[in-house]
Structure 1
Amino acid sequence: MNQDPSQKESPRLANVLVAASLRADQWRHLNAAARAWAGGGANAAQGRERCTKQFAEAMRLEQCWAYPGERLLAALRQALADGDAALFARLVQKVSSAILSGDYRRDENAWELDDDLDRNVLDALPPDILGVQDKPYFEVLVVTPADPAQWLRSKDEMRRMRRAEDPFHYAVVHAGSFEDAALAMIVNHDLQAVVLVDGFGFSSHHDIPDLKDFVSRHVSLDADDVRPGTMSLTLARTIKNSRPELDLYLLTDRAPESVAGSDEAAPLRRVFHHVEEPMEIHLSIIDGVNDRYETPYFDNLKKYAMRPIGTFHALPIARGKSIFGSNWIRDMGHFYGTNILFAESSATTGGLDSLLEPTGNIKRAQNAVARAFGAKRAYLGTNGTSTSNKIVVQAVCKPGDIVIVDRNCHKSHHYGFVLSGAQPYYVEAFPLTQYSMYGAVPLRTIKQALLDCAAGGKLDRVKVVDMTNCTFDGHMYNPRRVMEECLAIKPDLIFLWDEAWFGFARFNPMHRRRTAMGAAAVLTQRYHSQAYRDEYAAWKAKRGEFDPADPALLDERLLPDPDRVRIRVYQTNSTHKSMSAFRQGSMMLVWDEDFHHVEGPFEEAFFAHTSTSPNLQLIASLDLARRQMELEGYGLTLRMTDLALKIRRAINTHPLISKYFRVATPEDMIPAEFRESGLRDYGPPDSSWLDAIEALDHDEFALDPTRLTLICGAAGFDGTQFKGLLAERFDIQINKTSRNSVLVQTNINNTHSDAALLIKALADLSREIESRLAQGGALDRTVFDDRVRALMTDVPDLPNFSRFHDAFRDQPDGASNEGHMRPAFFMAYDEDNCEYVRLGSEDIDKRLRDGPEMVSANFVIPYPPGFPIMVPGQVIGADTIAFMRKLDVKEIHGYHAAQGIKLIKPSALAGRRAGSLH
């Protein structure tokens, strides 16, 4: 029998990821219990006891939110104490509905005991203030030593400061201590500002036994670490590290001038004297949120669209006259509407600014992006991250530079090397053969490549380490550790982190620790500290100089010289892949202490790859995506993570679905040697969230919980077949597949209804398989088992990169494996240099056995898995041919079965000098 939800024990906070979701569940369960009590009859006593228990559980964290507020909570307590089941049920229904629907953001009646506004509270407000439906709502945390008995009066006073011209409205949450403020900051997604009033203490005022376990995931809770008189500034720094988007204000009775000038006040937006005029605080709060709400380009585009403009430029679609006046394409205007046509132009006048040389609102938009994503600079891309990658590669690399790069990275990187003339040194990710996919490149492998170059006297030519973070399948690097150890070998290395799928991560403290910009900020602060200098000096004295040939270096934790190290980090993200931007919207984020050496080449590369007619709507959507993420990205990304975990749990614990479908766990996707924590899966019963955070902090690789590899091979479906089935029959769209899996990724667009649709589809398919196998005979079972075996067991080995042909290597006998790919690429332009061999021919087997070597003339990229198994100039090995022969995918870029594999003729390679086109 299913347990009544109202009787479920509230989970320990240590096992809760998103407290806001727990809160909504608790109010929903309390609502069910209250209705049962109100209609309970003879079971009234039992119903009241249940409601008392459920109400107490819900109240554990309720002080962290402004709604429902003291008045409604007091009325609920009184109704419960009086045994008034009807009133209690009515009030619980009111609060529960408002929390689930968000009505409290839009309707003042949601805050009152009945449907009439309390005029004693609101009589000081102008009449039009009551119509707040169209104004965005947020909450402000006030951390104060004041008596909690005064908090309600303080809230009412701040409420009365609302003005008709305020673009937003807010409500106040109070906390009386460091711990309570930290808890509210973590769980309350509506917070946009924090006001710190000097004088509060450290310890919580509430009885929450597991509070420390919950908060310590993101915040260090140790009163001994707080120096006397610095409680407010320590809390400010703590909040800024965890939620950098929040505005912080300090009210102090100390001399505000001296406080404001100190380094410790850097996280604060403004410092007030304790007795400052309250309206100034109110105006500052509104102004701070408005700074993030402002979208310079989008705001101006809206104004431009409303102006009566005559267009004599080369864009007939602008203003829509050619469409709405047409006999044949008026349906285009009806479908897209007028605004998108009115907001089109090929001009950069009228305040629209130029993407190629921004001086106005695009420049301001880029500055806002840099602030929001924690970068020093930001550039907007309108040709997708494929182009953004090429821009960065071409900007930081010149012919002859060596780039240590994941062979499985997106093809845009490989084409970037062709364009720039950089020599790729391909390093291999760990294989996940059972799923026909690769993971990520171990740090040991990256260090080996650097040391090989050092041993060969070529370390000075190594310019960039280029990795994908996180990978398509969710493998997250530990960028801080990778960069730190690589910088110990070469202190001026540039890092390009392709975070195409990971742009959202900045706004989620769980993911942020694995981002390029997050690591750049941490390392910059670390290397400027005296503590690190002492750590480095002790390490250097113990280890001395190191020999690049020393194999012990591969397993030793290396530290860079703080006097030589340079933080040079570039991150690209496909904003459209994880945020609310139109397709091809991309960003390039820069944290480069030597950017003054790169700025000119970067500008040239940007000019080379960016259209002179960029899509204005794309630019505007990037502006808006930044606004949304800076104002609500924290809550959105946590909710999407929570939803992914619920999908994972629902599939893997379902008694029928789990027979045929399964979501791969971190244990499945990351070998134990790279999971030092031993984490098997996220959440109970496998781990607490404190365990998961420890793993995210220290393991070499971690698995992004929002990316779900759904194994479908045990159901007899290959990835491509299953993807088509989900789309055609269930209207479920999937992006990426492998031989026996599909990738389910949650994003900020997904809802519980989407999750239910997927679970229902899997349940229906599982029941159909059960029925078919039950009704069929032994032959049907044998055919099914053979199909599953072919998909899940008899999988092809994954090929590694072999080497570049000697004709494309400077030192054929050297340990490092970089090569000149550009000349090989362009040799294939001359058909006289090329030949073809068919995959099934005996010629291939003979040449593999007896020679001459087969050298690829172009890129060959099967989808899936989507990585190049051949690149120009690569010697083709037996493992690559075996893999191609077992491939059962239809889409292979660079290969046509009727022609065969395109090779560079041995005669064209004979006598060729490396680096030459002749």
Structure 2
Amino acid sequence: MKILDQNRAPLFEAMREYHRKNVVPFDVPGHKHGIGIPEMVDYFGRTMLELDVNAMKCLDNICNPIGVIKEAEDLAAKAYGADNAFFLVNGTTSGVQAMIMSICNPGDKIILPRNAHKSAITALILSGAVPVYIQPEINEELGIAMGVSLKSVKEAIEKHHDAKAIFIINPTYYGAVSDLKAIVEMAHKYEMAVLVDEAHGAHMKFHNELPMEAMDVGADMCAVSTHKTGGSLTQSSLLLLREGFVDAKKVKTTLNLTQTTSASYLLMGSIDIARKQLATKGKEMLDNVLNLVRWARCEINKIEGLYAFGKELVGTIGVYDFDETKLGVNVRNLGLTGFEVYDILRDEYNIQVELGDMYNILAIVSLGDTKESLGALIEALKSISVKYKRDKKITLKKSILKNPEVIVSPRDAYYSRKKIVKFEDAAGEVSGESIMAYPPGIPVVALGERITKEMIEYVNEMKKKESLLQGTEDPYVNYIKVLGV
């Protein structure tokens, strides 16, 4: 048995060895080491194209890894304190789908917060599981959903003790963390598996001043976006699992239902390198990240009209802990929406933040940030506060993220006959499509739910603010499919 040395990157090392040999390719991909697409070589570089290769014996195969991919996955499992790890090349979306499909059969109940990502909703369609939604706690001043309270989880578990699993977000997009350890202990007493969407927590394992990661508190599976905060390439992620409630063989079989048989070695190699860096240098690098984001938060809070929220929220309802690397800035006292500040930063200051919503902008601070990059954001916000400030702060209706009325399961809604109606006239209908703003990809309306007047008003407000809406066949969300003929 090989010793798992975190200083190694076995898949990436095998890719480099393949590249060194200068193999003559008569396999796919058809560009043949970039020779067939010179424009890409000129811009991206020859090495990248030469490493865009297909599965072969020396490089192993993601569908049934027994060589260097398996060794790299074992190293990832050890780094995160898991029993097994699987490389993902279709993002954490595929991990969330695999988690739910591995645990839930058609008709099985799963408890999940209403602010779950759209990947959880698509997993309900694929698995046939029936959602039992719990309401995340809402911070009305910030206008965002936080974590879930132990009280709401306990009530849902006791009312639906036949549920197969509970699904938790750790952390939320804005950094809020629920009491995951207590939730795991509670769920396991009822023999429920705990599945965790850890898309925004790839870094948390590697610094003791950050919230605890799912595997550390005994969760059964978690999907981790190494590309978001861990340094790997976009679309690359990990699925981690703990043996007990979960059968690793079934998880692998489930992944192979939806995951490509032509996995990108550039993506997989980047996971291997990112894991190596986190495991060997993560503490040092995250020390720097935390110092930078704490400085930036302090400087932003000196700017009139802005509030960069952080650890002071810990202890408020729905916030058991907080990931400081999520730099959320409440801008409503400027008299501007987050959508407006998002656009101003991009169009006038050449700064791209992660998202804007009605009240806030969100900047993700991670391994690649510097004092110069954060300084540019701070100076831009200072300028905006002077140049664009309005007298009246933004005030909207209270959040509509209350538990919706689920009429049929998302799967039944997906396969039911539908008709098209004007969205304005859809109140009372059962939705046959989802509507979500992206990012973050959290549904305002999900399949199988009763559409309410409040939902329509909220979506119309988002349309006015030019939020990027997804989910409906009509790209402008003037029409929506509902159940019926």
Is the TM value for this pair above 0.5? yes
CA contact (8 A) 1:863 1:889 kept: no
Counterpart amino acid of residue 632 in structure 1: K
Matched residue SS, 1:293 = coil
1:663 aligned residue (300, 308, 320): 308
For 1:441 and 1:710, how far apart are their aligned partners in 2? 22
* Higher mean displacement: 412-421 or 425-434: 425-434
Q: How far did residue 860 of structure 1 move?
A: 1.6
d(CA) in 2 for partners of 1:673, 1:796: 17
Query: For this pair of structures, how many residues does the alignment match?
Result: 480
TM-score of the aligned structures, taking structure 1 as reference length: 0.50
Q: What is residue 216 of structure 2 aligned with on the other side?
A: 518
Distance 1:733 1:337, change over 3 A: same
Whether the aligned pair in 1 keeps the contact of 2:102 and 2:251 (CA below 8 Å) is yes
Q: CA deviation at 1:751?
A: 1.1
Q: Please state how far the C-alpha of 1:864 moved relative to its aligned partner.
A: 6.3
Residue in structure 1 matched with residue 470 of structure 2 by the alignment: 893
How many Å apart are 1:768 and its aligned residue? 3.1
Which residue matches 2:432? 857
Shift of 1:713: 2.4
Pairs within 5 Å for 1:613-762: 613-652=262-301, 654=302, 657=303, 659-667=304-312, 669=313, 672-673=316-317, 701-762=320-381
- Does residue 417 (structure 1) correspond to residue 66 (structure 2)? The answer is no
1:305 aligns with 2:305: no
Overall identity of the aligned pairs, in %: 23
Greater relative contact order structure (CA < 8 Å, 6+ sep): 2
1:396–1:838: structure 2 CA closer, same or farther, 3 Å change rule? closer
Partners of 1:299 and 1:435 lie apart in 2 by 47
Q: Secondary structure at the match of 1:359?
A: coil
User: d(CA) in 2 for partners of 1:322 and 1:673?
Assistant: 57
Match of residue 341, structure 1, among 23, 27, 49: 49
Q: After TM superposition, give the deviation of residue 401 of structure 1 in Å.
A: 1.2
Instruction: Give, in angstroms, the shift of residue 765 of structure 1.
Output: 2.6
Written as runs of structure 1 = structure 2, the 5 A alignment for 1:447-462 is 447-454=154-161, 459=162, 462=163
SS in 1 for 2:242: strand
Structure-to-structure mapping, 1:171-186, within 5 angstroms: none
Contact 2:436–2:442 (CA<8 Å) still a contact in 1? yes
Deviation, structure 1 residue 736: 1.7
Pairing partner for 2:6 from 278, 292, 297:
292
Alpha-carbon offset, residue 638 of structure 1: 2.1
> What code does the residue aligned with 1:742 have?
I
- 1:307, distance to aligned residue in structure 2 (A): 1.2
Rate the CA distance shift 1:865–1:581 in 2: closer, same or farther, 3 A.
closer
Instruction: Name the CA distance, whole Å, in 2 between partners of 1:882 and 1:436.
Output: 16
Tell me how far apart the structure 1 counterparts of residues 202 and 440 of structure 2 sit (CA, whole Å).
22
Q: Does the 8 A contact of 1:431 with 1:798 survive in 2?
A: no
- Structure label with greater radius of gyration: 1
- CA–CA separation in structure 2 for the residues paired with 1:800 and 1:836: 24
Alignment of 1:236-275 (within 5 A): none
In the alignment, the residues of structure 1 paired with residue 202 and residue 42 of structure 2 have an alpha-carbon distance, to the nearest angstrom, of 34
Compared CA separation, residues 429 and 670, structure 1 to 2 (3 A): farther
Aligned to 2:67: 360
Q: How far 1:294 moved relative to its partner? A: 1.1
Q: 1:733 to 1:838 in 2, by over 3 A?
A: closer
Deviation digits for residues 358-401 of structure 1 (CA, Å, limit 9, x no counterpart): 11111110111111111111111011111111112111211121
**Helix, strand or coil: the match of 2:257?**
helix
AA of the residue aligned to 1:423: V
Match of 1:468 among 154, 166, 169: 169
Q: Is 1:824 aligned to residue 413 of structure 2?
A: yes
TM-aligned CA distance change 1:371 to 1:878, over 3 Å: same
The verdict on how the C-alpha distance between 1:834 and 1:292 changes in structure 2, with shifts beyond 3 A counting, is same
> Residue type of the partner of 2:238?
M
Q: Counterparts of 1:387 and 1:412 in 2: how far apart (Å)?
A: 8
Match of 1:270 in 2: none
Matches for 1:62-77 after TM superposition, within 5 Å: none
Match of 2:404 in 1: 802
Within 1, Cα distance between the matches of 2:76 and 2:477? 48
Equivalent position amino acid for 1:672 in 2: T
Range that drifts further, 412-421 or 711-720: 711-720
Partner SS for 1:498: strand
Work out the CA distance in 1 between the residues paired with 2:149 and 2:55: 48
Take 2:231 and 2:108, find their aligned partners in 1: how far apart are those partners? 37
Residue 517 of structure 1: CA displacement?
0.9
Deviations 1:629-668 (A, max 9, x none): 111001111221121111111121x3xx2x122212445x
Matched residue of 1:398: which SS? Answer: coil
Which of the numbers 247, 250, 264 marks the counterpart of 1:601? 250
* Superposed structure 1 runs of 4+ greater than 4 Å apart: none
| Matching residue within 186, 203, 216 for 1:504 | 203
- Residue 422 of structure 2 corresponds to residue 837 of structure 1: yes
Amino acid across the alignment from 1:387:
S
Candidates 77, 80, 104, aligned match of 1:397: 104
Q: CA deviation at 1:603?
A: 2.1
- Write the distance in 2 (CA, Å) between the matches of 1:631 and 1:475: 27
Letter in 2 for 1:472: Y
The residue identity in structure 2 corresponding to 1:429 is P
Distance (Å, rounded) in 1 between the aligned partners of 2:375 and 2:43: 30
Give distance in 1, aligned partners of 2:230 and 2:207: 13
Deviation at 1:904, TM superposition (A): 1.3
Query: Is contact 1:569-1:592 (8 Å) kept?
Result: yes
Quick check: 1:436–1:798 contact (8 Å CA) kept in 2? no
Of the three residues 429, 435, 446, the one matched with 1:871 is 446
Cα deviation, residue 673, structure 1: 4.4
Q: Distance in 2 between matches of 1:334 and 1:305?
A: 18
SS at structure 2 position matched to 1:881:
helix
1:485 aligns to what? 186
CA distance in 2, matches of 1:414, 1:803: 15
Q: Distance in 2 between matches of 1:483 and 1:515?
A: 12
Between the aligned partners of 2:254 and 2:329, the Cα distance in structure 1 is: 39
2:477 matches 1:902: no
TM-score (norm 2): 0.93
Distance in 1 (CA, whole Å) between partners of 2:106 and 2:118 is 19
- Secondary structure class of the residue paired with 2:376: helix
The residue identity in structure 2 corresponding to 1:825 is Y
State the one-letter code of the partner of 1:879. E
Alignment of 1:554-569 (within 5 A): 569=220
Could you give the per-residue CA deviations for residues 505-524 of structure 1, whole angstroms, max 9, x where no partner exists? Answer: 00011225x2211112xxxx
- C-alpha change, 1:406 and 1:761, in structure 2 (3 Å) is same
Q: CA deviation at 1:616?
A: 0.6
How far off is 1:717 after superposition?
A: 2.5
Q: Which structure 1 residue ranges, 5 or more long, are not aligned?
A: 1-286, 324-329, 521-567, 675-699, 771-783, 809-819, 909-918
Give the CA deviation at 1:313: 1.5
Distance in 2 (alpha carbons) for counterparts of 1:466 and 1:405:
5
In the alignment, which residue of structure 2 is the partner of 1:581? 232
Give the 3-state SS of the residue equivalent to 2:361 in structure 1: strand
Query: In the alignment, what sits opposite 1:256?
Result: none
Change (3 A) 1:618 1:303: same
In the alignment, the residues of structure 2 paired with residue 410 and residue 578 of structure 1 have an alpha-carbon distance, to the nearest angstrom, of: 17
Aligned AA for 2:21? Answer: R
Match of 1:428 in 2: 135
Contact 2:135 2:401 (8 Å CA) reproduced: no
Report the CA distance between 1:670 and its aligned residue.
6.0
Cα offset, 1:865, TM superposition: 6.4
RMSD: 2.2
- Following superposition, the deviation at residue 337 of structure 1 comes to 1.7
SS in 2 for 1:291: coil
1:321 aligns with 2:35: yes
